Amino acid sequence: MQNNGPNNINTNRESIYSNTNIYNYISIGNVLPIEDATGMNRIKVSIVGPVGRGGDNSILNDETAWCFPLMPKHFSVQPKAGEAVFIFTFSSDKQHVDRLYLGPIISQQDKLNFDNRFGSALAGFSFGPQGPNVNLKRYQDIVGVFPEPTDVSIQGRNNTDIIQKDNEVLIRAGKFIPSTITKNNPYPFKFNKISQGYIQIKNNVDVDNQKGTVTNIISNKINLITHNGSPKFNVTNNNNLINDDVLAKIMSPESNGGAHRLPFGDVLLEYLKLLKDALFLHVHNGNGNAATDLTKSGNKQALTIFKKKADALERAMLSNNVRIN
């Protein structure tokens, strides 16, 4: 049955093994909740269909064949239990040994975190239980959340990706935020215009009268931390490098051991210029006479100006959002 939309339901959920007597090198199976104790990223998959045609109908879950990843371990996505994968076998007499898998099968990008084998995962296939939903990019709130078809990308399960565009690389986290479902956006998320964090590297940009590169780092807070800086932080936790406790320490006030706030160069320079003028243009006349400021262009008094502006400049000098050690 051909599916033309989400309301066209195919109730025949049997495997392709049930519909033919011809041996198939490729089939689709349901990932089982069985962990590989060897750490080889193998999975166990149940294929609907009779054993004589390569299916697993009469085989217990823990007795199904191990499936090896078809993709190299340099790039690895571990399918979740309940997701669908493509299964490859070497020959008709080895359909229950030495299987290979490719997956998970994800129908549309809003289901990257999980796409149910007996739900929407096979949407779009003639034998799928339902058809695909409307293209996400039809809704303005979703535009920008997912890569364009012409991009080369690696997408995370949830809210991250790496995108290679024309002369541009993006590394993103927090690309969408929760959203109320409405008529104009039937999805529970939308493009994050508030707190999205990303590194953008652009090439072929006009820089100093020539073509060059520009790197932008965008985030609510930015920490530039070295291994042996002062103060020193544990940035090599085995599980997550910088854990929540260390991150909170880094972002705490300097008086509590936090990282240093980065100064704004232009504000610091203005402060130093005023200080220099106050130092060199302030004259002690001696013999008990009152000190005076040498007049400058415009008859400005250097020490008076420094006193007037110093406090405000000191308050504005340090960033609250960028820290270093």
CA distance 304 to 282: 10
Alpha helix ranges (H) inside the chain: 244-250, 265-280, 302-317
The alpha-carbon radius of gyration of the chain (Å, integer) is 31
CA distance 235 to 252: 16
pLDDT value of residue 253: 95
Cis peptide bond N-terminal to 104, omega within 30: yes
For residue 14, give the nearest of 45, 55, 66 by alpha carbon: 55
CA distance 281 to 291: 11
User: Who contacts 318 (Cβ-Cβ below 8 Å, separation ≥6)?
Assistant: 261, 262, 263, 264
CA distance 177 to 138: 18
pLDDT value of residue 303: 81
Phi-psi region for residue 60, left (φ > 0), alpha (ψ -120 to 50) or beta? beta
CA distance 250 to 257: 8
Per-residue tokens: 282: 């302030």
Which residue(s) pair with 237 in the sheet? 241
E strands within 78-123? Answer: 84-88, 99-102
For residue 48, give the nearest of 29, 21, 25 by alpha carbon: 29
Residues 95-132: b if buried by 16+ CB within 10 A, e if exposed: bbeebbbbbbbbbbebbbebbbbebbbbbebebbbbbb
User: DSSP letters along 272-291, please?
Assistant: HHHHHHHHHSEE--STTPPP
Indicate the burial class of 324 (C-beta count within 10 angstroms; 0-12, 13-18, 19 or more): middle
Phi-psi region for residue 220, left (φ > 0), alpha (ψ -120 to 50) or beta? alpha
SS3 308: helix
CATH code linked to domain 16-111 = 2.40.50.140
Q: Where are the domains of the chain?
A: 16-111, 139-218, 221-325
Query: CB of 23 within 8 A of CB of 54?
Result: yes
Going residue by residue through the chain, which has 325 residues, state the pLDDT in tens, using 9 for 90 and above. 333 334 444 555 555 556 555 667 889 999 999 999 998 999 999 999 899 888 999 999 999 999 999 999 898 899 999 999 999 998 888 889 999 999 999 999 999 999 999 889 999 888 888 888 888 889 999 999 999 999 999 999 999 999 999 999 999 999 999 999 998 899 999 999 999 999 999 999 999 999 999 999 999 999 999 999 999 999 999 999 999 999 999 999 999 999 999 999 999 999 999 998 888 776 666 666 566 666 554 445 778 888 899 999 999 999 999 999 9
pLDDT value of residue 222: 97
